[in-house]
Amino acid sequence: MRIDHTIIESWVKPNSRVLDLGCGDGSLLKSLHERKNIHGYGIEINSENILRSIENGINVIEQDLDKGLSDYDDQSFDTVVMSQTIQTMQYPDLVLHEMLRIGRQCIVTFPNFGHWKARWHLVINGKMPVSDLLPYEWYNTPNIHFCTFRDFETLCEAHNLTTLNREVIGSGAIGSALQKFHPNLFGVTALYRLTK
């Protein structure tokens, strides 16, 4: 099981209602259903991911997140998750607001643009980082709103969002050890649990 999924799972109440924005192949919802008996829905736009979600037996709704979430009622879910997707959104701040309107809590995970490799790439090569972590060129990346952990926390503060938990995942053993000492430099993925 993916480490980020394990962390998310620990933050989700059993038997609760979960909405997963950008649910990918549905594996997170599937394991949440199997292990925590949640009732979940995933929203996805990628056609291949939708088919894989169907195979995973989850409720998947084809919908473009950038067109808004006004279909969903206030506080109608216990948890709204957005895993590795917020950086692809046109208006990440509005999405965050919507997530906390719909859900009592939200869980956001994203890749850290403040990771040393990204910084190193830009400083040394003078080019946007392309790596196994960020395998796109600047012109074809779906990731249009990169941020660092620090940027994200500034946004949360400005909007008076309360951080209930934060976890940082490093890469490899050394990265994992170092991220404790300087998460913004050595963390690859950040996970936040937020509420209003």
Minimum CB distance to another protein smaller for 56 or for 88:
56
How far out from the chain centre does Cα 161 lie? 16
Considering the rule CB under 8 A, would residue 60 count as an interface residue with another protein?
yes
In the complex with another protein, which residue's Cβ is closer, 4 or 98? 98
Residue 64: phi and psi, rounded to 5, are: -95, 110
Interaction of residue 34 with another protein, rule CB under 8 A: no
* Number of Cβ within a 10 Å radius of residue 113: 21
Identify whether the C-beta of residue 63 lies closer than 8 Å to the C-beta of residue 69. no
CA distance 176 to 123: 23
Name the phi and psi angles at 113, rounded to 5: -80, -10
As to burial, measured by CB atoms within 10 angstroms (0-12 exposed, 13-18 middle, 19+ buried), residue 26 is buried
Using CB under 8 A as the binding rule, whether residue 50 contacts another protein is answered as: yes
Cβ contact 194:108 at 8 Å: yes
Contact between 57 and another protein (CB under 8 A)? Answer: yes
Cβ atoms of residues 42 and 59 within 8 Å? yes
| Residue 54 touching another protein (CB under 8 A) | yes
The reply on whether position 73 binds another protein by CB under 8 A is: yes
- Minimum distance between the CB of residue 133 and another protein, rounded to whole angstroms? 31
The single residue among 2, 13, 62, 136 that binds another protein, judged by CB under 8 A, is 62
Q: Please, which of residues 74-93 interact with another protein by CB under 8 A?
A: 76
Binding residues for another protein, total number by CB under 8 A: 19
Contact 4, 83 (CB under 8 A): yes
Q: Is 46 in the site for another protein (CB under 8 A)?
A: no
**Which secondary structure element, helix H or strand E, spans residue 9, and what is its range?**
helix 3-11
Taking residues 1 to 20 in sequence order and writing x for each that binds another protein by CB under 8 A, - otherwise, the string is ----------------x---
Taking the complex as a whole, the smallest distance from the CB of residue 43 to another protein amounts, in Å, to 10
Return the range that interacts with another protein (CB under 8 A); candidates 48-56, 112-120, 142-150, 166-174: 48-56
- Contacting residues toward another protein, per CB under 8 A: 17, 39, 41, 47, 50-51, 53-55, 57, 59-63, 71-73, 76
